[in-house]
Amino acid sequence: MYTTPRHVVATDGPVVGSTLAGSTIAATAADRAWAGLHRARLGNPPDAIAAAEDRVFRLYLPLARALASELFGGTAAAPVEVEWAAELALAKAVLGWSGEDGRGFEAYARATITDRLRRQAPSPGHQRATAARLTSTMLPTGGVQRGR
């Protein structure tokens, strides 16, 4: 298990600091997702393969976001474009994985994401993907939205 600022992610390594029940649930979810992807890739239509790839992608999405956050000190969410780069690298890792199951995938995904993040430089006035950015567009207490 790998704890991120947002979620808990199944890993293929030893479980550190988690409960046995939590690790079993995460491992079972990961096993099911990988088995589904393997079955889908055995001659199913493209939409079935894409749905299975999406399930695997979503399972490891918190890992990608955590790696992006770690690049910026680990306490705040990463800039939006850095999170996007991490997500893109994760998508490429899922699409490029040829294994029948997920054994070894986390290490492969980490390497793919980390390599992409090292090449990603945030733009000069980057925005952080936090609640602060989302609340900046909310209506003031009077119910009237001010111009931006």
Give the pLDDT band (50/70/90) at residue 80: confident
> Does any domain span residue 146?
no
> Does any domain span residue 39?
yes
pLDDT value at 140 more than 90: no
- How far lies 125's CA from each of 81, 88, 135, in Å? 11, 22, 18
Q: Which of 40-44, 77-81, 105-109 has the lowest mean pLDDT?
A: 77-81
> Does any domain span residue 98?
yes
Total structural domains in the chain?
A: 1
> Does any domain span residue 26?
yes
> Does any domain span residue 92?
yes
> Does any domain span residue 77?
yes
3-class SS at 41?
Answer: coil
pLDDT per residue over 112-123, tens digit each?
Answer: 999 999 887 655
Q: Which amino acid is at 59?
A: L
pLDDT per residue over 47-62, tens digit each?
Answer: 999 999 999 999 999 9
Q: Which residues of 44-61 are buried (b: 16+ CB within 10 A; e: fewer)?
A: eeeeebeebbebbbebbb
Q: Which residues constitute the domain of residue 50?
A: 2-135
Structure tokens at 137: 């567009």
- How far lies 105's CA from each of 12, 44, 63, 99, in Å? 7, 22, 12, 8
> Does any domain span residue 140?
no
> Does any domain span residue 145?
no
